[in-house]
Amino acid sequence: MRLFLSTCIALSLTTAASAQNAPVAADSTDPIRDMVARLDLEKYKATIKGLTQFGDRRQGTKRNRDAIDWIEAQLKSYGCTNTERIHYEWPRPAPRGGGAGNVGRRGGGAGADSGRAAGAGRAGVGGGGGRNTGPVTGVVSGSGGSRIRGIRARTGVNNDSLRQPDPRLRALNAEPTDTVNRMREEVYCTKVGTTRPDEMYIVGGHMDGHGWGEAANDDGSGTAIVMELARIFSMPDVQTERSIRFALWNNEESGLNGARAYVAQREVLQGKEDPPGSGRYPEPKWLGMIQHDMMLFDHGMPRADGTLSPDQRPEADVNIEFQINSKMAEGSMKLAFVLHQANNKYATDYPATVGPHMTNTDSGPFQDIIPAISLRENERGAHIGAGWDPHWHQPTDVFATFSDKDFRLGLNAAQTTLAALGQLTGAKLRK
């Protein structure tokens, strides 16, 4: 296993040395290429922009609920009409520094929503609410088993409304999380397979955010990928043998609560025909889970003074992560390399790199049950946790911060996942 992993990662680093630059052209002899060609940068940007109208979409607020309604309406407009919602109770936040119980039965406790993101203990990284300042040097342990090396900037969650210079956005984000009514919900829709409707891949992104910005990157960028994939797979001429579920998780920032609730409620329903003999499977058997979380910003390591390059680095890549110490590590690694090879063949601008440290995102609750991977702009523990994205949970996470080169990294992640899903589910185009 370890030797195979080392060989695969070496292959990943070698083949990621260059990226394809020609646009994907439709090809009637290759249905996957035809489907990838239907992805469009302007449509992807427009979906992110649509999400930002609701500000940071903090869980337990009206703006969060309005965003869920908008997402559902968009999915239905694409033709993904069988939308459904999961309802669950948000666990009561623990005191700062403590752990809280979870709805799901796997994984660690979540930190308080007001002070910590996704319940992450960030070794060697600044605490919640602090400004991104630095630099800091050295080698420390990062989350997920990876190591933070070299120069790093302090990170945290902004909780100061006055750091948002836009008065309109300050007003939009002013409503706090409702801690009295703790019922929450999230939406998903399903592409039903033609010959194997009882088997399914889950594709996810989290729609909630915080930090007094617009949550354009974290995780409007990942949510928009899932929605764009739902749009294309829902087109009338697209058929898949297996099913695909497009899930827009809520409460990621408060401890992966939405994903945990999904696992707790629906794991036991897998593969059960309901009603018997109907050919309908409300919860097909899970074959794999693919998460998208922060997809836009790969500007490199902080400089010695703590600043970063204003431009996307030429060697930017899509990070595909699995968790090496999970129960499904081998299957997750294989799934990661399916996406890696799909990127090699179908992505237009940026290559992919596979790494063994997946942490602090909604694929976590699935990682000991089924193959589960996460796509990111950088490695979550060693890079994002070290301040490689100064807009993470900050007022600057707004649509206007990012350039077309940034948005194109997200588009390439969408190309990667769409191509891999098309292959895994036996996608075809009806003539």
State the pLDDT at residue 135.
54
Please tell me the predicted confidence (pLDDT) of residue 252: 98
Report d(CA 53, CA 251) in Å as an integer: 19
Residue 207 is given by DSSP the state: -
d(CA 370, CA 386) in angstroms, rounded, equals 29
Stretch (H or E) spanning 265: helix 257-266
> Which pLDDT tens digit goes with each residue over 88-124?
999 976 665 433 333 333 333 333 343 333 333 333 3
What would the pLDDT profile of 280-304 be if each residue is shown by its tens digit?
999 999 999 999 999 999 999 998 8
Tokens of 92: 């009561």
Residue type, 427: A
Residue/partner pairs of 149-153 with CB below 8 Å, 24 or more apart = 149/382, 150/301, 151/301, 151/302, 151/303, 151/304, 151/306, 152/124, 152/125, 152/302, 152/386, 152/387, 153/302, 153/306, 153/386, 153/387, 153/390
Question: Is the confidence at residue 411, as pLDDT, over 70?
Answer: yes
As a whole number, mean pLDDT of residues 51-69 equals 98
User: Over 50: is that where the pLDDT of 239 sits?
Assistant: yes
42-47 average pLDDT score: 98
Q: What is the pLDDT of residue 5?
A: 52
Q: Are 47 and 296 in contact (CB under 8 A)?
A: no
Tens-digit pLDDT profile for residues 124-160: 333 334 444 455 555 444 455 666 666 677 789 999 9
Q: What is the pLDDT of residues 386-401, one digit of tens each?
A: 899 999 999 999 999 9
In the block, residue with structure tokens 């033609």: 194
pLDDT of residue 276: 92
For 325-348, the pLDDT digits (tens) are: 999 999 999 999 999 999 999 999
The predicted pLDDT at position 127 comes to 31
316: which residues sit within 8 A by CB, 6+ positions away? 298, 299, 350, 377, 409
Domains present along the chain, CATH in parentheses: 2-429 (3.40.630.10)
The more confidently predicted of residues 380 and 218 is 218
Largest CA distance in the chain: 66
pLDDT of residue 124: 30
Q: What pLDDT does residue 305 have? A: 87
The CB density around residue 401, as the number of other CB atoms within 10 Å, is 18
Across 231-236, average pLDDT = 98
Mean pLDDT of the chain: 86
Pull the structure tokens for residue 47. Answer: 């979906």
pLDDT of res. 11: 47
3-state SS, residue 187:
strand
Average pLDDT over residues 168-189: 97
